[in-house]
């Protein structure tokens, strides 16, 4: 926990599924509109490189019907935290019976302007994809960022699950953070940042 800074989240060390990690949740009474729910790492100047982590996400008790256990990694986070790019997972979509919902298992976003809903409306299917996921289970992710391009790798696969060749905010230096969406209980472990 040393060096980590909570932004609109609560974080504590826990053991989840037999592995030590950090649980991240929204504080009681938090607004559902806050998109910058982040546990910031002590990395201030990440522009290009790799971020690896094991993540686990599931809807919390009392979460709304639309909760999916949103959990991911944000990069190039601005000082005010409202500006960032991120890849995240929707674990409850991974094995849904509805194929369209399955196709929305992994997502790229670029806040504040390029929300998931805007990207889906203006360029459907380009910034999200299917990944086999199980809510609450540990999932390995790796993000490779190089200038205006980024790739999301899941489960240690050699090929990326999601390829983005036009990061919406271009290339600049920022922080790295562990991200959760509304109604989520997120867990993170084995986080590694390698700057290029």
Q: Where are the alpha helices (DSSP H) in the chain?
A: 99-102, 116-122
Q: Tell me, what's the pLDDT at 29?
A: 75
Token pair 């960022």 is at which residue?
145
Backbone angles phi, psi at 153, to 5 degrees: -110, 140
**Which pLDDT tens digits describe the chain residue by residue (196 residues)?**
689 999 999 999 999 999 999 999 999 877 666 689 999 999 999 999 999 999 999 999 888 888 899 999 999 999 999 999 999 999 999 999 999 999 999 999 999 999 999 999 999 999 999 999 999 999 999 999 999 999 999 999 999 999 999 999 999 999 999 999 999 999 999 999 999 9
What's the pLDDT at 34?
66
Per-residue model confidence (pLDDT) at position 32: 63
Domains contained in the chain, CATH given:
5-169+178-195 (2.60.120.560)
Q: What is the pLDDT of residue 40?
A: 98
Residue 65 token pair: 């019907």
**Contacts (Cβ under 8 Å, ≥6 apart) of 85:** 74, 75, 76, 108, 109, 110, 111, 150, 167, 168, 169
Q: With a threshold of 0.85, does the pTM exceed it?
A: yes
Give the model's pLDDT for residue 195: 96
**Do residues 104 and 90 make contact, with C-beta atoms less than 8 angstroms apart?**
yes
Strands 128-129 and 19-25: unpaired
Query: CB–CB of 107/133 below 8 Å?
Result: no
Q: Closest Cα to residue 188, out of 47, 9, 8?
A: 9
């Amino acid at each position: 926990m040393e060096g980590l800074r909570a932004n609109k989240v609560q974080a504590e060390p826990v053991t989840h599924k037999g592995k030590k990690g950090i649980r991240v949740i929204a504080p009681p009474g938090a607004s559902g509109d806050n998109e910058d729910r982040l546990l910031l790492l002590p990395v201030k100047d990440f522009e290009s490189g790799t971020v690896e982590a094991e993540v686990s996400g599931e809807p919390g008790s009392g979460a709304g019907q639309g909760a999916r256990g949103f959990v991911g990694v944000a990069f190039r986070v601005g000082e005010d935290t409202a500006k960032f790019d991120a890849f995240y997972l929707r674990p409850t979509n991974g094995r849904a019976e509805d194929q369209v919902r399955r196709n929305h298992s992994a997502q790229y976003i670029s806040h504040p302007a390029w929300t998931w809903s805007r990207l889906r409306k203006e360029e459907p299917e380009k910034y999200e994809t299917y990944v086999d996921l199980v809510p609450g289970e540990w999932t390995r992710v790796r993000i490779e960022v190089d200038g205006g391009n980024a790739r999301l790798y899941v489960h240690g696969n050699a090929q990326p699950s999601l390829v983005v060749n036009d990061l919406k905010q271009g290339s600049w230096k920022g922080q790295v953070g562990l991200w959760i969406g509304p109604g989520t209980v997120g867990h993170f472990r084995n986080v590694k940042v390698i700057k290029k």
